[in-house]
Amino acid sequence: MDITNKSRIHWACRRGMRELDISIMPFFEYEFDSLSDGDKKVFVRLLESDDPDLFNWLMNHGAPADPELRRMVALIQERNQQRGPVAM
């Protein structure tokens, strides 16, 4: 997926599982534009993961084997925690 196609990335962020939407959508909306191109690519790669894996990683029930994906999961968790709850 092209990192400049924000509407397609936005669509990929919509997972249909509330717990994932609460984690991924605010990060995309508030943080994506400030990421480096490299981090945008890692984020897009993370979105290609299966929902059960994403859920487990974001809820701290395991971690991706890939260190870049592990770093992105940690970044999503950190930024979401700093920002606080967002109404969905």
By residue count, the chain amounts to 88
Q: What is the pLDDT of residues 4-59, one digit of tens each?
A: 889 999 999 988 888 888 899 999 999 999 999 999 999 999 999 999 999 999 99
With a threshold of 0.85, does the pTM exceed it? yes
Answer CATH for 6-83 from 1.10.150.250, 3.20.20.70, 1.10.580.10, 2.30.42.10: 1.10.150.250
- More reliable by pLDDT, 68 or 88: 68
- Domain boundary assignment for the chain: 6-83
Separation between Cα atoms, residue 86 and residue 71, nearest integer Å: 22
